Structure formats: C-alpha cells, structure tokens
Amino acid sequence: MSEITYRDALKKALFDAMSEDDDVFIIGEEVGRYGGAYGVTKGLYEEFGAARVLDTPISEPAIVGAAVGAAMAGLRPVAELMYVDFIGMTMDQLGNQAAKIRYMFGGQIGVPMVLRTQGGTGRSAGAQHSQSLEAYVMHTPGLRLAMPATVADAYHLLRDAMRQPDPVVFIEHKGLYTMKEDVDFSASVPPWGKAAVRREGDDLVIVTYSRQVHHAMAAAAELAKKGIETTVIDLRTLNPLDMDTVRDHVERVGRVMVVAEEVMTAGVAAELSARIHEECFDFLHEPVIRVAGEDIPISVSVELERNSVPTTEFVREVAERLVADRVHS
C-alpha cells in the first residue's frame, strides 16, 4: 500500500507503459519541459526525452490529427488536451476519422490512441474552461470513454486504455488531481468496461461516475444515519457501458437516481435514465430521477459555480424525497 495522489497515479501509469513499450509516446501542449498543465507529465521528458514526450504548437486539431496518424502507423500515442472544452475543435480528427477508421478500413487498421483531457468545475475557470462534455464523446460510435473517480482507477483505467485497440477518450476531473488515497497497485480491480459497486444498500441505487462518485458516497453516509441504505455504482467507463451491473442492482432495489455533473438536457444522465426505464421498467417502484448540472454556462463565481452542479447536500435531499414513502411506511 502507498499513499499517492490522483495526479501521480496518472503519471505512474504513463511511466510504466512507456517503460514497457517503446511505441507509447506523449504529445500535446506543454507536456514536455513544463510537465503538463496539471503536472501529470512532470519528469517524463527528462526520463524519456523529446522524441517520446513531444511539445506541440497551440493547435488541438494538429495534436489529435498527428496522434491519429501515428496510431494508424502502429504507434500508441497518448495525446493531451489541456481542457475538454477544446474537444470541439478536434471533432473532425476525433469523430470523423479516429472513431470511424476501423470501420472504413474493414478492420484492417485501427487507431490505438488515448486522448487525455480534463473537465468539470471547481477551479473558477469560467464558462469556456469548466464544462463536462462527455456526452459529445458518448454520442459518437467508435470512441471509448473512461472517467476515473478514484486514485486506483486513475492508474488502472489509464493502463487499460493504453492497451485498447480503439481510440479512448480519457477524461480526468480537474477537482480530483490532488486527492490522495492508499493504493495497492497489485490488487485486483474491475476489468475494462466493468462498473464498481462502491457501497451496497437496499433502499436506493445511485448510478454515477467521476467526481460525483464522491458526492454520492458522502450523501450515502449521511443517509445511513437516517436509516437509508444506498447502493452507489461507479460506472468507471461510459463506453463500454456496464448496464448488467446497473440492471442487477436496480431490479433488486427498485429505486434509482442517476447523478452527473454535466448539463441535464440531452446528457449522459438522460441516456442512463432512458436505458434503465427501458430495461428495468417492471422492477421500478418510482420513475428514475436525474440529478445533473444546470443548463447554463458555468460562472467564474465560486458560489454560482458550486451550485450549478450537484453537491453532496443536493444529492442527499433528492434521495430523501425519493425514498420518503418507504422510510415512513
């Protein structure tokens, strides 16, 4: 066991992969001498050199386009976008090319690349640097999507992402980089595409991912003091999406909330809610409740930013209302 930050777990995953496979390289803005905008690649330039930790001009389409070409040629690039907010500029390279090349070439060529980026609120970065755009990626067939919530998953999911035959978008929440946990790197973890059940209870199921896992766990601890026992499912990846685990627990419990930081309208929470209604309808005691971000640009104001996305308090309040009839019966 060793205590390590989320940031350093990502760095360890990159270091281990680059040490084992000379085809793995990093490309992006300020990933080299500067060590990355969030310090994840710090020290890797000195260890592996400029040929494998490539600083680029400020051009997100060029970064992703170069990574796509390198992956098609047999390398395993890890591209970094400083903010997920910039992913729109790369959607030709990412959505029209990387996501479709295996299909267009009849399976003869793949794109085994990882696109690391970060999203979410918590740093007063303003409307253009605080979004949660995972629905853009989840909507596009051919792109895999991982969103680790824990330090252990920051390491293991990134290692798994770098082994995939298809392009993986790997979104790290900016509010998690300094989080510390004791991690046993030799311990078994759920395989790629498998959700993790972080807590188990019989009154309510909360399905979530990324930083909202921590809000859900904190809310569940408060709910337990009132006799409400909650199952918390951390999806870990949104493509593949582990509906089997979700279905098993929803059918067992019958009440479910979906919690996401991204906006309410046409987001991941809406997709999850629809699937749960379709696949578990006969087992639901109540309609699925979505708890998600407001349909507004994120303010630079600390207070407005905090209250534009789900908080522990809000998750707890909604959960109490959802199970009120069961608790009082």
How would DSSP label each residue in 162-229? Answer: TT-SS-EEEEEETTSTT-EEEE-TTS--PPTT--EEEE--SSEEEEE-TTHHHHHHHHHHHHHTTT--
Predicted pLDDT of residue 329: 47
Q: Is the pLDDT of residue 328 over 90?
A: no
pLDDT attached to residue 326: 65
| HSE-up (13 A, CA, CB side) for residue 212 | 31
Topology of the domain covering 2-183: Rossmann fold (3.40.50)
130-159 pLDDT tens trace: 999 999 999 999 999 999 999 999 999 999
Fold of 196-328: Rossmann fold (3.40.50)
What's the pTM value of the predicted model, to 2 decimals?
A: 0.96
Band of pLDDT at residue 185, cut at 50, 70 and 90: confident
Nearest alpha-carbon partner for 77 in 97, 41, 53, 100: 53
Residue corresponding to tokens 């281990």: 16
Stated length of the chain? 329
Q: CA 167, CA 105: separation in Å to the nearest integer? A: 15
Alpha carbon distance 44, 257 (integer Å): 41
Residues that are catalytic: 60, 129
Instruction: Encode pLDDT of 164-183 as tens digits.
Output: 999 999 999 999 999 999 99
Structure tokens at 85: 């907010």
Question: Given this model, what pLDDT does residue 146 score?
Answer: 98
Is the pLDDT assigned to residue 190 strictly greater than 80? yes
Domain boundaries, the chain: 2-183, 196-328
DSSP 31-81: -STT--TTSTTTTHHHHH-TTTEEE--S-HHHHHHHHHHHHHTT-EEEEE-
User: What percent of the chain has a predicted confidence (pLDDT) above 90?
Assistant: 96
Give the pLDDT confidence score for residue 124 in this predicted structure.
94
Domains 2-183 and 196-328 share a fold: yes
Record the tokens describing residue 192, joined without a space. 């790629």
Question: Per-residue confidence at 2, pLDDT binned at 50, 70, 90?
Answer: confident
Render pLDDT for 266-284 as a digit per residue (tens, 0 to 9): 999 999 999 999 999 999 9
Residue 52's Cβ-count burial label (10 Å; 0-12, 13-18, 19+) is middle
Predicted confidence band of residue 327 (pLDDT cuts 50, 70, 90): low
Nearest to 94 by CA among 76, 74, 113, 119: 113
Question: For the purposes of burial, counting CB atoms within 10 Å of the CB of 130, is it exposed (0-12), middle (13-18) or buried (19 or more)?
Answer: buried
- Burial degree of 300 (CB within 10 A; 0-12, 13-18, 19+): middle
Read off the tokens for 162. Answer: 């770098």
Q: Strand pairing of 256-263 and 289-293?
A: parallel
CA angle at 167 for the pair 243 and 190, rounded to the nearest 5°: 40
If pLDDT is split at 50, 70 and 90, which confidence band does 309 have? very high
Secondary structure class of 143 (helix, strand, coil): coil
Q: Kindly tell me if the per-residue pLDDT of 41 is higher than 90.
A: yes
